[in-house]
Amino acid sequence: MQTIRWGIIGCGNVTEVKSGPGFQKANNSSLIAVMRRNGDLARDYAHRHGVPKWYDTAEALIHDPDVDAIYIATPPASHKEYTLLSAKAGKPVYVEKPMALNTAECQAMMEACRAANVPLFVAYYRRALARFLKVKELIDTRAIGDVRYITVTLCQPAAADLLQAPTLPWRVIPEIAGGGLFVDLASHMLDILDFVLGPIRAVHGFTSNQAHLYAAEDIVTGTFVFESGVHAVGTWCFTGYRRQDITEIVGTEGHISYSTFDAQPIIVTKPNGSEEFLFADPAHIQQPLIQTVVDHLNGIGPCPSTGESAARTSWVMDQMLRRSGTNTISKVPFDAPLG
């Protein structure tokens, strides 16, 4: 069994606990190099995490012969650039979500990796968490009968860092993030629905900037239909008065409700009562998905989050944000296997 030696481009906050240690703790995996444009910060990260090498350019890390695979943990604006460089070097890529600024960039990334014959994975790590595997199991075993419709709600007050910081965080700067907090957070919610119920085939959305705290949208509502015929509606509001995070899947024999971001139980409700399932998240929340990537690279199992599955989620968000320049319902342009 080969030990996959990883290099990280962009060792920022997300890599401190959520992902970085997962590359060190996963079986047959090691983290040997990190990169930040600020070399002092890269050196500090390497020292604190016991990483042998550090760089201040992505090219140097990518071309290090001791690095087998690349994890791109930068904001979305640079995902395409670094993916294409990694593919050209013949190295597999694991890229943060959302996959890129838009669907066109996702397609370019997939094409480059196919041409180089290297796999492309995306950090939609909830696909490997026990909580969401349970949701999928409940749907697959028809615990609530045939699924009919879904409602998705995510509401948050305006974030304190937006109201107090002298400069805006990159997550609400469209040219860096691809949109606002909708792109950052709804991507997880939509990706899990793709994982559980299959691809979405038609989408319609409306966006507004109601509070005028930044240039990006701060509320999105959407309707969408799955290939299976299941209907769904969603609302994502980032300037409400309270926090609410709930997805409800309604079937012919009951319904399932769960939280995407909060450690709340899955609740299955039927006419004869309710049942709850509670799961704790791992210390390094990306580690279970990282393990599937390592296993995939070693030929012992598929990773559930690929470029193809992640591009579908980017396409759905593009339609809700009306990036196609039309308000008409569109059909998904991908012909890819589920997951």
Write out the DSSP string of 268-293. Answer: EEETTEEEEE--PPPSSTTHHHHHHH
Looking at the structure, tell me whether residues 116 and 168 fall in a common domain. Answer: no
Structure tokens at 239: 């300037």
Q: CA 139 to CA 258: how far, in whole Å?
A: 13
Question: Would you tell me the crossing angle of helices 79-88 and 103-116 to the nearest 10 degrees?
Answer: 10
Structure tokens at 277: 């399932």
Identify the CATH number of the domain in which residue 243 sits: 3.30.360.10
Residue 337 domain-assigned (yes or no) = no
Residue 157 domain-assigned (yes or no) = yes
Residue 273, amino acid: G
Q: CA 182 to CA 4: how far, in whole Å?
A: 34
Residue 55 domain-assigned (yes or no) = yes
Structural domain harbouring 71: 4-124+286-304
φ, ψ of residue 191 to 5 degrees: the values are: -65, -40
Q: CA 261 to CA 131: how far, in whole Å?
A: 11
Residue 338 domain-assigned (yes or no) = no
Structure tokens at 174: 């469209």
Looking at the structure, tell me whether residues 157 and 8 fall in a common domain. Answer: no
Looking at the structure, tell me whether residues 221 and 243 fall in a common domain. Answer: yes
Looking at the structure, tell me whether residues 91 and 198 fall in a common domain. Answer: no
Q: CA 312 to CA 83: how far, in whole Å?
A: 18
Residue 213 domain-assigned (yes or no) = yes
Looking at the structure, tell me whether residues 172 and 272 fall in a common domain. Answer: yes
Looking at the structure, tell me whether residues 134 and 116 fall in a common domain. Answer: no
Looking at the structure, tell me whether residues 71 and 21 fall in a common domain. Answer: yes
pLDDT for 108-130, tens place per residue?
Answer: 999 999 999 999 999 999 999 99
Residue 45 domain-assigned (yes or no) = yes
Identify the CATH number of the domain in which residue 96 sits: 3.40.50.720
Domain count, the chain: 2
Residue 336 domain-assigned (yes or no) = no
Looking at the structure, tell me whether residues 262 and 140 fall in a common domain. Answer: yes
Looking at the structure, tell me whether residues 95 and 140 fall in a common domain. Answer: no
Nearest one of 225, 126, 196, 231 to 339, comparing CA atoms: 196
Residue 298 domain-assigned (yes or no) = yes
Nearest one of 128, 148, 127, 126 to 256, comparing CA atoms: 148
Looking at the structure, tell me whether residues 237 and 97 fall in a common domain. Answer: no
Low-confidence ranges of the chain (pLDDT < 70): 324-339
Non-local (6+) Cβ contacts of 112 within 8 A are 83, 84, 87, 88
Given this model, what pLDDT does residue 325 score?
40
Looking at the structure, tell me whether residues 297 and 169 fall in a common domain. Answer: no
Looking at the structure, tell me whether residues 163 and 227 fall in a common domain. Answer: yes
